[in-house]
A and B are shown apart, each in its own frame.
Chain A
């Protein structure tokens, strides 16, 4: 089984993010970068699927600047077999990323593409869906599972996305409003993963050292025939509104009243 997994370099969610005074973007000085946490879950799932269905291969792909090779390396250190960087400096919108990935996928011909459901930098949540459309493949978004992240299945690192016995489809449990639904998706397919699918492993030192020797191929969007000129224009970046101070209620009756009449949640 050949699995392609995407990994994006994003701002570390623990860094303090400030908006530039002119509102064009965020201040990047002093901000740390890391792999998108949803993508790390996708990498973990890819590795579990691989290990449960040998022989298999996991390819980690990133679209971004030359620095994104660091995030590919972190996927390789977790256990992915090889990396591909589609090198493009500056901001690339989700549509251009999807079209770059389309070309890579047409060349690599994976059976399954696993992606984070969204990147925590701009939270678009569209790349997987666009990619499925461009490829004409089936898709299952927000993959999750029934078992909790403290369950024995999770501790045993069992895949939550399950390959069917005939290897022609995968079973995906996806998070929907009010519950979970189970889909059977014909391969090849795009699966985007949600937060409660697995707990990604920590890269161990021996695997970090092994990753050093794994190949990372660089590709140029132009050579792939992809025009990465953004279709999305960023008009303005604003910080979220400051949170207003809370209130104290004297008793439970007042709390219920507030939840009902003001918050309108009960």
Chain B
């Protein structure tokens, strides 16, 4: 007997329509190029404008800046991007729309929204987030890039590391030290990359996320107007930490969708590939392994959705978000291993999705706050430690 409306899934017909449209675009326009873009180490700039035309970069933003939809549309975006079969495209789009830009919407001035946010959501300007440095990754409070106030300007000196979209960003949402040592001296500002003294140190050669341009950026006496400061001076740390929540949640949701896709692929391959007279999938070892993973993925999905629900309603969600990213990230390492294993030799050649997913998957426990950082955060939010 069925009574009442389920609280989950939270998707309405509008979410379903957006999912169908986005999936069609991603599968037809992006996925066919996935291996080529990885080989080229970059994807075309038109992907930003193509995604923007779908409204996919503006999800969760107010209409006044070119956005629409609610947080569950963001969830749909993070889930469907996985179907591009290209982790670099996936990450670039999420940095563009959900990591480098939400803070401008939250605390930026009208001028900053007009100059940076709206063009980013329209796919006209490429956005990057500049927090990590050669000597400060997860330890944000220790960052060393300085912004010194000189008259009506800030003069910026330092370096930023691991910057996604770094080689072609039109602006960077930049974390800088404007005050004392530690978390109380950090500010955020919008930094246009056509400023004199800015340079791209190098495009980093990575094992995965190959189509994403990850760069080391240098700032040498870069002058930007003081009004490009985001929010209050020296109050940046709090905003960075808040901003991380949305980033980690997208990572967790995307990881779940990615794992589901890996297992779906593995089941399909197991049906097609025959060994010793029967399809691989009929071997008990594979049946059991894959349903174990499906079970764990289902658990990861609902943990992530629980965190999404809290986050979307503005409730405290740091613990659940950290748990969701930790759980999905660690689980992915096991899922990708088995899904690659069932593919045998085919799983070792880069034309197979699973081979590329194998190297891409390592990032999830490292980037956006390492698993160890997630554990530290959780331990601080649970009484008794």
Interface string of A182-205 (1 = CB under 8 A from B): 000000000000000000001111
Given contacts A205-B54, A205-B55, A205-B59, contact A74 B68 (CB under 8 A): no
Q: Does B25 contact A (CB under 8 A)?
A: yes
Contact A205 B13, beta carbon cutoff 8 Å = no
Contact A205 B53, beta carbon cutoff 8 Å = no
One of A93-101, A140-148, A206-214 contacting the partner: A206-214
Max count, chain A CB within 10 A of own CB: residue among B13, B59, B73: B13
User: Complex: how many Å from CA A211 to CA B24?
Assistant: 19
Q: Does A73 contact B (CB under 8 A)?
A: yes
Contact A205 B20, beta carbon cutoff 8 Å = no
Secondary structure at the A interface, as helix, strand, loop or mixed, is helix
| Minimal beta-carbon separation of B279 from chain A (angstroms) | 15
User: Complex: how many Å from CA A211 to CA B14?
Assistant: 9
Q: Which of A34, A204, A209 contacts B14 (CB 8 A)?
A: A209
Contact B13 A70, beta carbon cutoff 8 Å = yes
Set of chain A residues within 8 Å of B13, measured between Cβ atoms: 70, 73
Contact A204 B21, beta carbon cutoff 8 Å = yes
Set of chain B residues within 8 Å of A212, measured between Cβ atoms: 14
Q: Which of B16, B24, B68 contacts A205 (CB 8 A)?
A: B68
Q: Which of B17, B59, B69 contacts A74 (CB 8 A)?
A: B17
Count A-side interface residues using an 8 Å CB cutoff.
Answer: 15
Q: Does B18 contact A (CB under 8 A)?
A: yes
Contact A203 B17, beta carbon cutoff 8 Å = yes
Contact B63 A77, beta carbon cutoff 8 Å = no
Max count, chain A CB within 10 A of own CB: residue among B14, B16, B53: B14
Set of chain B residues within 8 Å of A203, measured between Cβ atoms: 17-18, 20-21, 54
Count B-side interface residues using an 8 Å CB cutoff.
Answer: 20
| Minimal beta-carbon separation of A27 from chain B (angstroms) | 17
User: Complex: how many Å from CA A212 to CA B25?
Assistant: 21
User: Complex: how many Å from CA A70 to CA B17?
Assistant: 8
Contact A208 B14, beta carbon cutoff 8 Å = yes
Q: Which of B24, B58, B63, B68 contacts A202 (CB 8 A)?
A: B24
Contact B69 A205, beta carbon cutoff 8 Å = yes
Q: Which of A70, A77, A209 contacts B21 (CB 8 A)?
A: A77
Q: Which of A73, A205, A207 contacts B73 (CB 8 A)?
A: A205
User: Complex: how many Å from CA A208 to CA B24?
Assistant: 15
User: Complex: how many Å from CA A206 to CA B59?
Assistant: 9
Q: Does B56 contact A (CB under 8 A)?
A: yes
Set of chain B residues within 8 Å of A204, measured between Cβ atoms: 21, 53-55
| Minimal beta-carbon separation of B15 from chain A (angstroms) | 9
User: Complex: how many Å from CA A209 to CA B14?
Assistant: 7
| Minimal beta-carbon separation of B32 from chain A (angstroms) | 15
Contact B68 A206, beta carbon cutoff 8 Å = yes
User: Complex: how many Å from CA A132 to CA B16?
Assistant: 35
User: Complex: how many Å from CA A73 to CA B20?
Assistant: 12
Set of chain A residues within 8 Å of B73, measured between Cβ atoms: 205
What would be 7 A-B contacts, judged by CB atoms less than 8 Å apart? A73-B17, A203-B21, A204-B21, A208-B21, A208-B55, A209-B68, A211-B14
| Closest 3 A/B residue pairs (Cβ) | A205-B55, A204-B55, A203-B21
Other than the given A70-B13, A73-B17, A209-B14, 4 more pairs (CB < 8 A) read: A77-B17, A205-B56, A206-B55, A206-B63
